[in-house]
Amino acid sequence: MKTRKTVMMFALGMAAATAFSAQRDEPIQPLVAPVVKEPAKVELGKKLFFDPRLSRSGAISCNSCHNLAMGGSDNLKSSIGHSWQEGSINSPTVLNASLSIAQFWDGRAADLRAQAGGPIANPVEMASTHEKAIEVLSSIPGYVAEFKAVFGRDGIDIGRITEAIAAFEETLVTPDSRFDRWLQGDDSALGKRELAGYDLFKNSGCVACHNGAAVGGNSFQKMGLFESYKTANAATGREGVTGKDADRFNFKVPTLRNVELTYPYFHDGEAATLEQAVETMGRLQLGRKFSAQEIGDIVAFLKTLTGKQPTLDLPHLPPSSNSTPTPQPFVKK
Amino acid sequence: MKTRKTVMMFALGMAAATAFSAQRDEPIQPLVAPVVKEPAKVELGKKLFFDPRLSRSGAISCNSCHNLAMGGSDNLKSSIGHSWQEGSINSPTVLNASLSIAQFWDGRAADLRAQAGGPIANPVEMASTHEKAIEVLSSIPGYVAEFKAVFGRDGIDIGRITEAIAAFEETLVTPDSRFDRWLQGDDSALGKRELAGYDLFKNSGCVACHNGAAVGGNSFQKMGLFESYKTANAATGREGVTGKDADRFNFKVPTLRNVELTYPYFHDGEAATLEQAVETMGRLQLGRKFSAQEIGDIVAFLKTLTGKQPTLDLPHLPPSSNSTPTPQPFVKK
Q: Which architecture characterizes domain B20-30+175-305 according to CATH?
A: Orthogonal Bundle (1.10)
Judged against a pLDDT cut of 70, whether residue B11 lies above it is answered with: no
Mean pLDDT over each residue of chain B, to the nearest integer: 94
Distances (CA, A) of B315 to A69, A305, A308, A309, B51: 6, 20, 13, 10, 9
pLDDT band, very low/low/confident/very high, at B6 (cuts 50, 70, 90): very low
pLDDT band, very low/low/confident/very high, at B9 (cuts 50, 70, 90): very low
The three-state secondary structure class of A271 is strand
Q: Which helix (DSSP H) or strand (DSSP E) does residue B250 occupy?
A: strand B250-252
Rounded mean pLDDT of B158-186? 98
Dihedral pair phi/psi, residue A141, rounded to 5°: -55, -40
Calculate what percentage of chain B has a pLDDT beyond 70: 93
Question: Cβ of A317 and B70 within 8 Å?
Answer: yes
Residues 6+ apart with CB under 8 A from B289: B282, B283
pLDDT of residue A8: 42
Judged against a pLDDT cut of 90, whether residue B321 lies above it is answered with: yes
pLDDT of residue A23: 86
Tell me the nearest-neighbour CA distance from A108 into chain B, angstroms.
26
Instruction: Name which of A152, A173, A175 is nearest A44 in CA terms.
Output: A152
CA A88 to CA A65: how far, in whole Å?
Answer: 13
**ipTM score of complex:** 0.93
Rounded mean pLDDT of B164-168? 98
Judged against a pLDDT cut of 70, whether residue A240 lies above it is answered with: yes
CA B113 to CA B159: how far, in whole Å?
Answer: 8
Cross-chain CB nearest to A272 (options B309, B326, B329): B326
The tens digit of pLDDT for each residue in A103-127 reads 999 999 999 999 999 999 999 999 9
Calculate what percentage of chain A has a pLDDT beyond 90: 92
Calculate what percentage of chain A has a pLDDT beyond 70: 93
Tell me the nearest-neighbour CA distance from A217 into chain B, angstroms.
22
Q: Which residues of B form the catalytic set?
A: 125
Judged against a pLDDT cut of 70, whether residue A40 lies above it is answered with: yes
Q: Could you tell me which chain B residue has the CA closest to the CA of A315?
A: B69
The tens digit of pLDDT for each residue in A262-300 reads 999 999 999 999 999 999 999 999 999 999 999 999 999
Note if the pTM is more than 0.90.
Answer: yes
pLDDT band, very low/low/confident/very high, at A317 (cuts 50, 70, 90): very high
Cβ density class B160-193: b for 16+ within 10 Å, e for less = bbbbbbbbbbbbbbbbebbbbbbbeeeeebbeee
CA A329 to CA A48: how far, in whole Å?
Answer: 19
Rounded mean pLDDT of B160-168? 98
CA B286 to CA B271: how far, in whole Å?
Answer: 17
B55 touches chain A (CB under 8 A): no
B59 touches chain A (CB under 8 A): yes
Rounded mean pLDDT of A26-39? 96
CA B9 to CA A35: how far, in whole Å?
Answer: 39
Instruction: Name which of B198, B158, B157, B273 is nearest A321 in CA terms.
Output: B273
Residues 6+ apart with CB under 8 A from B244: B238
Q: Could you tell me which chain A residue has the CA closest to the CA of B269?
A: A326
**Residue B67 β-bridge partners:** B73
Tell me the nearest-neighbour CA distance from A74 into chain B, angstroms.
7
pLDDT band, very low/low/confident/very high, at A29 (cuts 50, 70, 90): very high
pLDDT band, very low/low/confident/very high, at B333 (cuts 50, 70, 90): low
CA B172 to CA B169: how far, in whole Å?
Answer: 5
What is the dotted CATH code of the domain comprising A22-29+175-305? 1.10.760.10
Annotated catalytic residue within A43, A125, A131, A239: A125
The answer to whether B44 and A293 are in contact (CB under 8 A) is no
The tens digit of pLDDT for each residue in B207-240 reads 999 999 999 999 999 999 999 999 999 999 999 9
Rounded mean pLDDT of B125-134? 98
The answer to whether B246 and B283 are in contact (CB under 8 A) is no
Q: Could you tell me which chain A residue has the CA closest to the CA of B82?
A: A84
Q: What is the assigned CATH class of domain A39-169?
A: mainly alpha
242-281 in chain A: CB under 8 A from chain B: 260-261, 263-264, 272-273, 275
pLDDT of residue B178: 98
What does the DSSP 8-state code read for residue A59?
Answer: -
pLDDT of residue A5: 43
CA B283 to CA A293: how far, in whole Å?
Answer: 74
Instruction: Name which of B191, B192, B173 is nearest B258 in CA terms.
Output: B173
What does the DSSP 8-state code read for residue B170?
Answer: T
pLDDT band, very low/low/confident/very high, at A14 (cuts 50, 70, 90): very low
The three-state secondary structure class of A129 is coil
A74 touches chain B (CB under 8 A): yes
Judged against a pLDDT cut of 70, whether residue A238 lies above it is answered with: yes
The answer to whether A55 and A120 are in contact (CB under 8 A) is yes
The tens digit of pLDDT for each residue in B17-75 reads 444 556 899 999 999 999 999 999 999 999 999 999 999 999 999 999 999 999 999 99
Chain A residues touching residue B318 (CB < 8 angstroms): none
Chain A residues touching residue B140 (CB < 8 angstroms): none
Same fold, B20-30+175-305 and B39-169: yes
Rounded mean pLDDT of A203-227? 97
pLDDT of residue A3: 43
The residue extents of the domains of chain B are 20-30+175-305, 39-169
Question: Cβ of A86 and B261 within 8 Å?
Answer: no
Q: Could you tell me which chain B residue has the CA closest to the CA of A271?
A: B322
218-237 in chain A: CB under 8 A from chain B: none
Preceding amide of A175 cis, omega within 30: no
pLDDT band, very low/low/confident/very high, at A20 (cuts 50, 70, 90): low
Residue A125 is a catalytic residue: yes
Judged against a pLDDT cut of 80, whether residue A15 lies above it is answered with: no
Question: Cβ of B59 and A68 within 8 Å?
Answer: no
